[in-house]
Amino acid sequence: MRSRTARTRESGGSGWRRSTRRTRSSSTCATGGAGCGPGRASRSSCGRPSAAATTIADTAYQNIHVIREHAPTELLVLAGNHLCRMNYARLIDEHRRRNADVTLAYMELPFADAGQSGVLSTDTDHWVRTFAEKPLAAANGHGAAERALVSLGVYVFDTNSLIDLLRQDASDPGSWHDFGHDILPAALAAGLRVLGLPFRDAATDDAGYCRDVSTVDGYWLANMELLAERPRLDLHDPAWPIWTPLSQLPPARFSGRGVARESIVCAGCEIFGEVRHSVLSVGCEVGAHTVIEDSVILPNVRIGRGCRIRRAIVDAECAIPDGTVIDAESPLTPPSYVSPSGIVLFALPPAGESGDSARRQAP
């Protein structure tokens, strides 16, 4: 069958997801994330995923019967914690042209920006020779100022090869059941042909746009980048349309002295206060004399009068009382998680817990 484009872009912070995945009938997409909202899959104190965490590899293993039923020749595996503008058809076509068993996308980044992503090395023909998660690579002598080839968590697998790797991994009691930590190193150890391809922008062929949104800081920054005068991920690009069905809501309304500057305000919002350089998801209400700055407000949040919110992410469905201050630099901020760069993650306490616990700081 003739190749058709396969591309996706997502934005979790502003309450919408843009996604179009059109692949050949002989390829199947599998996506996995790390739960709801910013954050990685739960891990125990020793770094391994906790018993409650379900990894992408574990999910794929549990669905081998579905893979067998559809019988694709390849599987496209995507991490759910990246925001990318990527044409997956290029990856699949190169995988087939080079007769690879595994193909992965990567970017060259400063080693300090690799996060917990896999770091790889390739030969002159882009065949991967080594692959390790960042903590292992750091132990092998990489310095923070060096540049590294960093995996984006996007893979194309020959289906039979992947099934063999998953079954072998499932029988290993010491495995984390993680693609980066276990599956890719096992593929190299087994002598499989693992191809690495540098990620290029689908339109310009320049270095591609991809952001890791698995941390609070990364999630916040990706949303702030949408507010640039000419963002690299342009939500108004007609060549990169929104396909996901959206809720039918009335347009945003500004009443009284309500105003928004350098912001994205989604449908169904009612603004009576001031919004500066922020992203407001669908169905939010901002009371009079409230100022929101450099923040991401998730869907259906009700913010009272006279509030001040700065450099924060406010979880969906929150009702914030009049006069509340949410700002890492203010002692008036309610108990909240504060990220290493000072972003406040404000959420309602879980059922059965009071909100008067000690303020939580990032480790």
CB environment 277-286: b (16+ within 10 A), e (fewer): ebbbbbbbbb
Domain of 319, CATH number, reads 2.160.10.10
Domain range enclosing 295: 253-361
Could you tell me if 264 and 207 lie in one domain?
no
State which of 225, 245, 265 marks the end of a domain: 225
Residue 244 inside a domain? The answer is no
Please indicate, yes or no, whether residues 219 and 257 belong to a single structural domain of this protein: no
CB neighbours (10 Å) of residue 198?
13
Residues 259 and 196 in one domain: no
| 200 and 282 together in one domain | no
Same-domain check for residues 257 and 221? no
Answer yes or no: do 221 and 357 share one domain.
no
Give the CA angle between residues 282, 342, 50 to the nearest 5°: 80
Answer yes or no: is 2 within a domain: no
Mark whether 218 and 266 lie in a shared domain.
no
Residues 278 and 198 in one domain: no
Buried b (16+ CB within 10 A) or exposed e, 68-88: eeeebebbbbbbebbbbbbbb
Full pLDDT tens readout for the chain, 363 residues: 333 333 333 333 333 333 333 333 344 445 443 333 343 333 333 344 444 446 788 889 999 999 999 999 999 998 878 888 888 898 999 999 999 999 999 988 877 676 667 889 999 999 999 998 765 555 455 555 578 898 988 999 999 999 999 999 999 999 998 898 899 999 999 999 999 999 877 667 777 888 888 889 999 999 999 999 999 888 888 888 878 777 889 999 999 999 999 999 999 999 999 999 999 999 999 999 999 999 999 999 999 999 999 999 999 999 999 999 999 999 999 989 999 999 999 998 654 454 443 333 333
> Mind listing the pLDDT tens digit for each residue in 116-152?
678 899 999 999 999 987 655 554 555 555 788 989 8
Domain count, the chain: 2
The last residue of a domain, from among 174, 205, 225: 225
* Number of helices (H), then strands (E), in the chain: 7, 29
Query: Whole-model pTM?
Result: 0.75
Same-domain status, 169 and 301: no
pLDDT tens, residue by residue, 296-322? 999 999 999 999 999 999 999 999 999
